[in-house]
Amino acid sequence: MYLVKTYLVKMYLVKTYLVKTYLVKMYLVKTYLVKMYLVLTYLVKMYLVLTYLVYKSISVL
């Protein structure tokens, strides 16, 4: 019984550890994706602003 118990406890600990690390990884991936998304939207905005400015300068000429 003792061996079975220790085995079950070990399995439980391993499972919780794996789940925790998985959740942490998922969280990190999510934050990374959010950051990438923000950077991309920022770049798109900058691009739009630049094209707008170029267009305005051309139309002025």
- Token pair 């925790």 in the structure block, residue: 20
Using CA atoms, how far apart are residues 14 and 29, in angstroms rounded to an integer? 22
Using CA atoms, how far apart are residues 45 and 41, in angstroms rounded to an integer? 6
Tokens of 12: 């439980």
Q: What is the pTM of this model?
A: 0.56
pLDDT band for position 49 (50/70/90)?
Answer: very high
Which pLDDT score, from 0 to 100, does residue 59 have? Answer: 86
Domain boundaries, given as residue ranges, for the chain = 1-61
> Which residue type is seen at 48?
L
- pLDDT tens digits along 12-36: 999 999 999 999 999 999 999 999 9
